[in-house]
Amino acid sequence: MELETIELKGTPAQMGGAFGEACREEIRELHERRLRSAVQFAATWGDRSISAAQVTAVAESCLPFAEAYDPAGYEEFAAIAAGADMTPADLFVMQGLTDMRDLLAFGEVDGGECTAAIIPRERAQGARLLMAQNWDLETYNMPFVRLVHRRPETGPATWSLTLTGCLSLIGVNSEGVAVGNTNLRTTDGRRGVHYLQVLHRALACTSFEDALEAIRSAPRLSGHYYYLGFRDGRATGVECSGQRSVLHPARERPLVHTNHATAAAIRAVEAPDPGDSSRARLRRLESLVDRHTDPIGIQDLKVMLSDHEGGNNAICRHNAPPVGVSTNACVVLSPETREIHACRGQPHVGRFLTRGLPY
């Protein structure tokens, strides 16, 4: 369960090219697995027959949106593709799996489950904002989990948990911006940018306001819940569909989110019922947080995210049916100290690494 780290430095093209070349075979393998997943998901959940070529064609049509939304991020993205000897469309499918699946199954043309929490200063040890989550998806993703350190020539440095050949997934930057996400399935999908591109753009920001605008203004492919924290203690959840967004500021009380919409505007465009797991995990983590009367610290969050109460509906997951979903990684973020605590695999068995950024 060792979490491998990758060091990238230089221009976006230099960082992307180095990432793609170093992990070429793994990136290509993950693309094939995720392409099959997109086709199967559309058939199973959306009752739609989608070919691999159609998936790639939809990705191709999204590339202009991605380039316009974040030119520097797109330069790195395109260099990863070149370094891995892949087309940008193929890499788009690989990086943006959950958004691509939702768009193809429910949108105009998953089994992903995550559990996240924001612990505001008022409830956190040392009065320092903490954010944490389990990142859950089909178990085949686990070997590809990586911790990536980016040191660009311009802009903030970042540490992010992600997958081989991918842009940022859950991370923190040297300016004290921290972000993460859980999946939402919505029916108002459109051609646009996938969630990793949104998170990567937000981590390139130097202020809370700019990072929030990067999330809300993005031409999003599909739904996601994004959470955002800043070095001054501000934090908010942002429930997003493809075309709508609703803020859930975290002030004095912790804020927990899983994989179903809680805002009426997002529920109105939610895809088929997410099932019992999302609601069970939400209730369980809220209960664990509420029962913890002392200030909540990093180790407390690791323990909470290791909870196995509820069997297949537990917070910590092991090949849960119907598609074999596991907790592939766990992350705790501290925007004020610019630290990330991350492990590959379930938090009770994974070996956590702690990495920080100068400020």
DSSP state of 188: -
If asked whether residues 162 and 36 sit together in one domain, one would say no
User: Which of 335, 341, 317, 333 has its CA nearest to residue 131?
Assistant: 333
Lookup result for tokens 């995990």: 281
pTM of the model: 0.94
Claim to verify: residue 304 and residue 181 sit in the same structural domain = yes
What are residue 88's phi and psi, to 5 degrees? -60, -35
Tell me which residues of the chain have a pLDDT lower than 50: 109-111
pLDDT of residue 110: 41
100 and 186 inside one domain: no
Final residue of a domain: which of 106, 136, 161? 106
Predicted local distance difference test score (pLDDT) of residue 108: 52
Give the C-alpha separation, 285 to 270, whole Å: 23
Q: In this structure, are 117 and 102 located in the same domain? A: no
The pLDDT of residue 81 is 98
My answer on whether 198 and 230 are in the same domain is yes
Contact (Cβ atoms closer than 8 angstroms) between residue 64 and residue 94: no
Domain end (from 106, 128, 145): 106
Q: For residues 207 and 73, state if they share a domain.
A: no
Among candidate residues 194, 205, 190, the one with its CA nearest the CA of residue 244: 190
- Residues 229 and 349 both lie in one domain: yes
The whole-angstrom separation of Cα 323 and Cα 321 is 5
- Let me know whether 64 and 142 are in one domain: no
In this prediction, residue 112 carries a pLDDT of 59
pLDDT of the residue at 109: 41
97 and 123 together in one domain: no
Residue 64 and residue 159 in one domain: no
Q: Could you list the residue range(s) of the whole structural domain that residue 22 is in? A: 4-106
The answer to whether 79 and 16 have CB atoms below 8 angstroms apart is: yes
The answer to whether residues 122 and 39 belong to one domain is no
Task: Count the domains in the chain.
Answer: 2
Residue 280 has a pLDDT of 96
pLDDT value of position 275: 80
User: Are 165 and 310 members of one domain?
Assistant: yes
Residue at a domain's end among 86, 106, 126? 106
Domain CATH for 220: 3.60.60.10
Tokens standing for 302? 């690791």
Quote the pLDDT of residue 23.
97
Per-residue confidence (pLDDT) for residue 106, from 0 to 100? 84
